[in-house]
């Protein structure tokens, strides 16, 4: 029953039949999860990424989060992050913004999230990191001036938005000329063409596009034991969390592994 219900919710969400309702529901889901789990053991809210080549360097205290950090490492790898002004849209509990701030020496990192409870949780969990701040705001109407950032990061968040083209226009507005927008998220294979159109905001030039589904599935496998240990503590939410987190056997796990859902990483440059 839980799997069928979750599948139906995903179908409505990805097809965008009720975009404003979808946005409202996601906000409340993340508010609920932030209240339910308040400790540092769950600083990331993504499916993860395991690189195909050699592993990247991490401090010993961050090794437990390697699979989830990988999605951010691939997003900024090779970019001129040092001294840059970085914005993460959909920053969740702040683990990704914290990683960029601690490992890549930007001038500043600002994390923005739509869920007020999640922003409060991110501020508390990451208060020890200099040059890092979090604000509540809407991805479709960013509270920042034009050309305010050198790099905009968006990881596994856009599928929650009610108006993706408006989001892309806002990204183009807040990026400085020559700035980079680095994006990663999943879509049904049949909707990749639609995603092309949605992110084709004036001024944004697509410079790289990759299917990273195998790397994401590898990360889901690597995190399975830890994930199940965590889910086992949530008796009332156990079945929902198994689906939500992409555990083995879940709707999304099977879709990503089978190819009916594709996880893409993209980069755009502001003209």
Residue 38 pLDDT more than 60?
no
Average pLDDT, integer, range 23-36: 52
* Confidence class for position 5, pLDDT limits 50, 70, 90: very low
Contact 167, 161 (CB under 8 A): yes
pLDDT of residue 17 exceeding 90, the answer is no
| Rounded CA separation 223/159 (Å) | 22
In a domain, 100, yes or no: yes
List 183's β-bridge partners, or say none.
154, 266
**Is residue 229 situated within a structural domain?**
no
Give the separation between CA 238 and CA 207, rounded to whole angstroms: 41
pLDDT at residue 19, rounded to an integer: 56
Q: Is residue 9 part of a domain?
A: yes
User: Sign of torsion, CA 106 69 77 192?
Assistant: negative
Q: With cut-offs at 50, 70 and 90, classify the pLDDT of residue 236.
A: low
Q: pLDDT band at residue 251, thresholds of 50, 70 and 90? A: confident
Report the pLDDT value the prediction gives residue 199, as an integer from 0 to 100. Answer: 98
Burial class (CB in 10 A: 0-12, 13-18, 19+), 86: buried
Least confident of 25-29, 158-162, 259-263: 25-29
Q: How confident is the model at residue 223 (pLDDT cuts 50, 70, 90)?
A: confident
The pLDDT value recorded for residue 44 is 84
- Specify if 217 maps to a domain: no
Per DSSP, 144 falls in state: S
Percent of the chain at pLDDT > 70 equals: 77
Per-residue confidence at 246, pLDDT binned at 50, 70, 90?
A: low
124 vs 245 pLDDT, higher one: 124
pLDDT tens figures, 66-112: 999 999 999 999 999 999 999 999 999 999 999 999 999 999 999 99
CA distance 127 to 43: 13
CATH code of the domain containing 32: 3.40.50.150
Q: Looking at residue 76, what is its pLDDT? A: 98
Averaged confidence pLDDT in the chain: 85
pLDDT for residue 45: 80
Q: Does residue 89 lie in a domain region?
A: yes
pTM of this structure = 0.85
The token duo for 85 is 């002004």
Residue 25 has pLDDT above 80, yes or no: no
- For residue 70, CA distances in Å to 4, 58, 76, 131, 203 come to 30, 10, 10, 21, 29
Mean local confidence (pLDDT), 164-177: 98
Per the structure, the complete domain to which residue 8 belongs is given by: 2-212+258-270
Which of 17-31, 67-81, 242-256 is predicted least confidently?
17-31
Domains held by the chain: number:
1
């Amino acid at each position: 029953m839980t799997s069928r219900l979750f599948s139906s919710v995903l179908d409505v969400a990805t097809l965008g039949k009720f975009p404003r309702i979808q946005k409202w529901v996601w906000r409340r889901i993340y508010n609920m999860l932030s209240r339910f789990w308040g400790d540092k053991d769950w600083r990331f809210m993504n499916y993860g990424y395991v690189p195909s080549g050699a592993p990247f360097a991490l401090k010993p205290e961050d090794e437990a989060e390697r699979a989830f950090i990988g999605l951010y490492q691939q997003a900024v790898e090779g970019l001129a992050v040092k001294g840059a002004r970085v914005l993460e849209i959909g920053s969740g509990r702040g683990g990704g913004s914290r990683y960029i701030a601690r490992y890549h020496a930007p001038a500043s990192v600002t994390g923005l999230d739509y869920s007020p409870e999640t922003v409060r949780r991110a501020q508390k969990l990451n208060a020890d990191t200099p040059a890092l701040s979090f604000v509540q705001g809407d991805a479709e109407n960013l509270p920042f001036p034009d050309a305010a950032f050198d790099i905009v990061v968006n990881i596994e968040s856009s599928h929650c938005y009610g108006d993706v083209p408006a989001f892309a226009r806002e990204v183009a507005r807040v990026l400085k000329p020559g700035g980079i927008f680095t994006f990663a998220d999943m879509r049904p294979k049949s909707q990749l063409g639609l995603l092309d159109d949605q992110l084709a905001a004036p001024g944004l030039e697509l410079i790289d596009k990759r299917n990273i589904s195998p790397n994401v599935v590898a990360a889901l496998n690597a995190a399975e034991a830890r994930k199940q240990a965590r889910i086992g503590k949530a008796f009332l939410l156990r079945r929902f969390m198994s689906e939500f987190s992409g555990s083995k056997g879940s709707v999304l796990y099977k879709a990503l592994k089978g190819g009916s859902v594709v996880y893409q990483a993209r980069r755009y440059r502001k003209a």
